[in-house]
Structure 1
Amino acid sequence: MATSTASPPIPWQVLDLVANNLDPKTLTLASCVSKSWNSAMSSDHLWENLCTTHFPSLTHLRSAAAPTLPYHRLYSLGLTSTKRRQRPPQKPRISLETLLFIITVNNSKSPPVTLIKPGIALPSDPKSMFRFDFDVRDHERWLGFEVLEETKVTWNVVLRGFEGVFTMMDCKGKGNFVSGSDGWFSTELPAAGCCCAASCGGMSGMVADMRLVMREEGGRRVVERVCVGVLSIVTWRYVGVDDGLRYLQHFLQPCDV
């Protein structure tokens, strides 16, 4: 009876010659064939050039912090990081329709006035900015409120049914009320989670912003419009609606994070 003989292993020199002509994906697949193929296809001299070409910023990590880290592993880390950055952010679990904006303005001279605005009345376009204007000229109590230097504002966002509440702002004017100008208030927002807090000093990189648009009436300054929003301190532009909602859900739905 004829017996079959196993084929001799391919010399590593041949494997190396072939490997030099393979792309990263094929190299990875080929390394799974056998131990000898894995050794040949994972060689540093093959992957060093690939790392330098595709992820030049990562090549410094090896020399500075991890000199024994194989280049094929470094390439894998770079590829994973790139895919994660390219992945579209998840849709927020809450929507404007589920929120209630409650804004209160008060000082020592006038009784406090409160504006309650349901999110369902706000523009719901996710591509628009997280910035909203409220006209209060038809609100009789607001017309009776006189703005002073010491005016204090509070802005709370409530999840419907009062399942959650987050205070966006609770502050006084800081000498920014001068005759003929609007009143501005701003508060840097806290980080949305423990991991963020550790890396950015507990701050989110976003600012809650409020503007009281005023007019002179009978020698008094009264509010005719309230504008609120969330700004990025990196670009000093208002963040998008979805970004604002993703931030708020950390505080309004903490159990789901």
Structure 2
Amino acid sequence: MPEASTSPVLTLCSLVFEKLDGDSLARASCVSRAWRDTASQDYLWKALCTRIWPSLSSPRGMALLHLKGSFKYFYRLRAQAQLQHKKGHLNRCKLPTLALKDLFFLVDISHCGLPISSAVVCGDELLPSFVGEGLGDSSFDFSIPIATCLPRSWSKEEVQEFEVSWAVAARGSQRVFQLMNTSHYAGGNQEKKGVRVGSACTYAQPLPPGTECGCNVASCLGSCGMGKDSMMDWRGVPCEVQVRVESRCSRLVSTSPSGCTYTYSDFQPFKVSFAILHTISWGCLSQAQVLLYLQHALFHQCQE
């Protein structure tokens, strides 16, 4: 904790603020100027951000934070991205030419709000061996190794209930775009659980809108083989975001005193794969298509 404030009241406020979540801390900063100055201290937001997204403590995470300015500002960007992912609209600015090396991928996995794994990966760190060959272009289908935050394994039922967040940030953009966020489907909704096959579990959601206005969606994804008319509204885009968590699986056989035999399977995640699929052909979109889509999501300014 930084040097204590000269006011005992504000010193007590600082101790209380350390226990608050992001929404409560933001509300506290609206009470008065003194509370705003106390609640705006970056060490409070650093503790909050690293608790939610542990990968921000990594060198790559710190590089991303350096681009965004502060932990408080980064938290606001992530909160806005998650809200806009749910509502389906974005803020927009000037459209540049985007390259894979300009992107930061933020992948977080949790269970009941408890972080399991957190990673920040720059686009130029994705190895070519993770890229499959598409039709005339490399497909957007990557894998990254992950390390778990907790020294424990998970049952097959728990694996299917993982909360997966996949967000993207870019150099030159003051936005964070949420591609997937399964946490708001919590509460036992069986249809929204992950689909487990063997030791891998896949989580899927419809592709979120790149822009509120839907401009140029056809030019971004039109080469998927869909008609232009069906592409003018983002709701007609038959694409899906998929994240696949692969685990090492160990099995334990136990025999009860009554003689019954039980088999338990424990899963330890070690790799995450992510892709955007065309749900008619079930082929991955190309890198060029996804980069154009992310350009609009992160930089587009509607001219209409």
Structure number with higher relative contact order (C-alpha < 8 Å, ≥ 6 residues apart): 2
C-alpha contact 1:143 1:223 (8 A) present in aligned 2: no
The aligned amino acid for 1:202 is R
- For residues 9-54 of structure 1, the C-alpha deviation after alignment (integer angstroms, 9 at most, x for no partner) is xxxxxxxxxxxxxxxxxxxxxxxxxxxxxxxxxxxxxxxxxxxxxx
Deviation of the 1:207 alpha carbon: 1.1
C-alpha contact 2:194 2:204 (8 A) present in aligned 1: no
C-alpha contact 1:230 1:239 (8 A) present in aligned 2: yes
Q: Secondary structure at the match of 1:97?
A: helix
Q: RMSD across aligned C-alpha pairs, in angstroms?
A: 3.2
Deviation of the 1:122 alpha carbon: 1.9
- Change over 3 Å in CA distance of 1:110–1:215 after alignment to 2: farther
Taking the TM superposition and a 5 Å limit, the aligned residue runs for 1:152-231 are 152-160=163-171, 163-171=174-182, 174-176=192-194, 180-192=198-210, 193-195=213-215, 199-200=232-233, 202-217=235-250, 220-231=266-277
1:107 pairs with 2:111: yes
1:239 pairs with 2:290: no
C-alpha contact 1:96 1:122 (8 A) present in aligned 2: no
Which among 112, 118, 121 is matched to residue 125 of structure 2?
A: 121
The aligned amino acid for 2:206 is E
Q: Could you state the TM-score of these two structures normalised by the residue count of structure 2?
A: 0.47
- Change over 3 Å in CA distance of 1:235–1:216 after alignment to 2: same
* Matched residue, 1:10: none
Q: Higher mean Cα deviation, 188-197 or 103-112? A: 188-197
* Matched residue, 2:97: 93
Q: Secondary structure at the match of 1:194?
A: coil
* Matched residue, 2:154: 146
Deviation of the 1:96 alpha carbon: 0.7
Q: Distance in 2 between matches of 1:182 and 1:109?
A: 21
**Structure 2: where are the runs of 5+ without partners?**
1-95, 218-229, 252-264
- Change over 3 Å in CA distance of 1:231–1:150 after alignment to 2: same
- Change over 3 Å in CA distance of 1:121–1:145 after alignment to 2: farther
* Matched residue, 1:8: none
Deviation of the 1:184 alpha carbon: 0.7
Q: Secondary structure at the match of 2:108?
A: strand
Q: Give the count of matched residue pairs.
A: 164
**Structure 1: where are the runs of 5+ without partners?**
1-91
The aligned amino acid for 2:243 is M
Q: Percent identity?
A: 22
